[in-house]
Amino acid sequence: MNVVEAEGKALAEIAQVSSLPELEEARLRYLGRNGIVNQFLSEIPELPRQEDRKKAGGFINAVKGNIETALEKKDRELRQKSLKEIDRSSFDVTAPGLAPQTGSVHPLTKFREFVRDTFTKLGFEEVYAPHLEEDEYNFGLLNIPPDHPSRDLWDTLYLEDGRAMRTHTSNMQVREMRKRKPPIRVMTFDRCFRYENVDPHHSHTFTQFEVLYVDKDVSMGQLRFLSDLFLKAVLGEKTRTRFRPKYYPFVEPGVGVDALCPFCEGKGCRICGMEGWFEIAGAGLVHPQVLKNGGIDPKEYSGLAWGFGPDRMLMIKQGIEDIRYFYEGDLRFLKQF
Among residues 181, 257, 173, which one has the least CA distance to residue 211?
Answer: 173
Asked whether 280 and 271 are in contact (CB, 8 A), the reply is: no
Q: Which of 131, 194, 224, 240 is catalytic?
A: 194
Q: Which is nearer to Zn ion, 55 or 244 (CB)?
A: 244
26 is catalytic: no
Asked whether 235 and 278 are in contact (CB, 8 A), the reply is: no
Site string for Zn ion, 256-275 (x = CB under 5 A): -----x-xx----x--x---
Q: How far is the CB of 336 from Zn ion (least distance, A)?
A: 22
Going from the C-alpha of 245 to that of each of 149, 173, 253, 304, the distances in angstroms are 19, 22, 7, 15
Sign of CA dihedral 288, 291, 296, 301: negative
Does 252 carry a binding-site annotation?
yes
Q: Which of 26, 305, 306, 312 is catalytic?
A: 305
Residue 130: cis peptide before it, omega within 30 degrees of 0: no
106 is catalytic: no
Between CA 313 and CA 132 the distance in angstroms is 25
Site string for Zn ion, 272-311 (x = CB under 5 A): x---------------------------------------
Residues binding Zn ion: number (CB under 5 A)? 5
Q: Which of 131, 154, 204, 324 is catalytic?
A: 154
50 is catalytic: no
Q: For residue 182, what is the DSSP state?
A: S
251 is catalytic: yes
| 154 binds Zn ion per the rule CB under 5 A | no
Q: Which of 26, 37, 208, 257 is catalytic?
A: 208
Phi, psi of 161 (to 5 degrees): -80, 5
Q: Which is nearer to Zn ion, 262 or 282 (CB)?
A: 262
166 is catalytic: no
Q: How far is the CB of 271 from Zn ion (least distance, A)?
A: 5
Among residues 214, 197, 213, 219, which one has the least CA distance to residue 307?
Answer: 213
306 is catalytic: no
Q: Which residues bind Zn ion (CB under 5 A)?
A: 261, 263-264, 269, 272
Catalytically active residues, by annotation: 154, 168, 194, 208, 251, 305
